[in-house]
Amino acid sequence: MIKVYYCFPGGKHKALTLSYDDGKLQDRRLSDLFNRYGLRATFNLNSGLWDADEKRIKPEEFRTLYAGHEIACHTVTHPTIERCPLPNVAQEILEDRVALEKWTGYPVRGLAYPNGSLSRDIVAMLPALGIRYARVVGSSDSFGAPEDPYRWQATCHHNHRLLENADAFTALFKKQYLYLMYVWGHSYEFDDRNNWDLMEEFCKRVGGREDTWYCTNIAYWDAMDDLKRLRFAADNSFVFNPNAADCFIRVNDSEEAVCVPGGETVRLD
Compute the distance between CA of residue 55 and CA of residue 186 in angstroms, rounded to an integer.
Answer: 13
- Name the residue among 79, 78, 82, 94 with its Cα closest to residue 118: 82
* pLDDT (tens digit per residue) in 50-67: 888 899 999 999 999 999
* pLDDT (tens digit per residue) in 199-222: 999 999 999 999 999 999 999 999
Q: In what order do the strands lie in the sheet with 258-260?
A: 4-7, 247-251, 258-260
pLDDT attached to residue 237 = 96
Q: Which domains does the chain possess? A: 13-225 (3.20.20.370)
Amino acid 45 reads L
pLDDT attached to residue 6 = 97
Compute the distance between CA of residue 251 and CA of residue 269 in angstroms, rounded to an integer.
Answer: 9
Q: Are 186 and 24 in contact (CB under 8 A)?
A: yes
Compute the distance between CA of residue 38 and CA of residue 208 in angstroms, rounded to an integer.
Answer: 7
Give the number of other CB atoms < 10 A from CB of residue 65.
17
CA angle 63, 68, 70 (to 5 degrees): 75
Q: How confident is the model at residue 255 (pLDDT cuts 50, 70, 90)?
A: confident
* pLDDT (tens digit per residue) in 170-192: 999 998 899 999 999 999 999 99
pLDDT attached to residue 13 = 97
Where do the DSSP E strands lie in the chain? 4-7, 14-21, 41-45, 70-73, 110-112, 133-135, 156-157, 179-185, 212-214, 231-232, 238-240, 247-251, 258-260, 265-267
Residue 253 has pLDDT above 90, yes or no: no
pLDDT attached to residue 186 = 98
pLDDT attached to residue 1 = 85
Strands 238-240 and 231-232: antiparallel
**Model-level pTM?**
0.97
